[in-house]
Structures are given as structure tokens and as C-alpha cells.
Amino acid sequence: MLLLGGLVAVALIAVVALIVATRPQSQAGSNLPAVVAAATPDPAIPLNGKTMGSPSAKVTVVEWGDYQ
């Protein structure tokens, strides 16, 4: 029982050490600008689901993103 208790204690200490080591650093002293929400699009621009703008426009822009 003593050996099992010791193993559990070591495992808990290891978990706490990993949590502390991988915790993000404080942003308190950084010079990053504040996050501001984007302006809403002009209501005169036609919207259709994921499509924005005139369907007969001469230029088509397709945007893809991967946040990994």
C-alpha cells in the first residue's frame, strides 16, 4: 500500500510540473495591440450564403484557411 501511495504521489507531482511548465506566459507586459472586432460589411453588398458581392463580377477571390 505504501508503494502504491508513493507512485500516486510521484505521478501527481509529475502532472503538476507538466501543467506549470506548459502554461502560457503572462501577456501583462507585452506590447501587442488590443484585439478589435472587424467592422460589419456594407449592407449594400449582396450576400448569398458564403458568397459576397455581385455574381457577375469580373474577379473572383477564393479564400482558404487552416488554423493549425
Per-residue model confidence as pLDDT tens digits over 46-63: 888 888 888 888 998 988
Per-residue model confidence as pLDDT tens digits over 19-49: 888 887 665 656 777 889 989 888 888 888 8
- pTM of the model as a whole: 0.37
The DSSP symbol for 14 reads H
C-alpha cell at 38: 472587424
What is the pLDDT at residue 11?
Answer: 95
Torsion of the alpha carbons at 29, 30, 32 and 35, rounded to the nearest 10: -50
**CA distances (Å), 31 to each of 21, 28, 34, in order?**
23, 9, 9
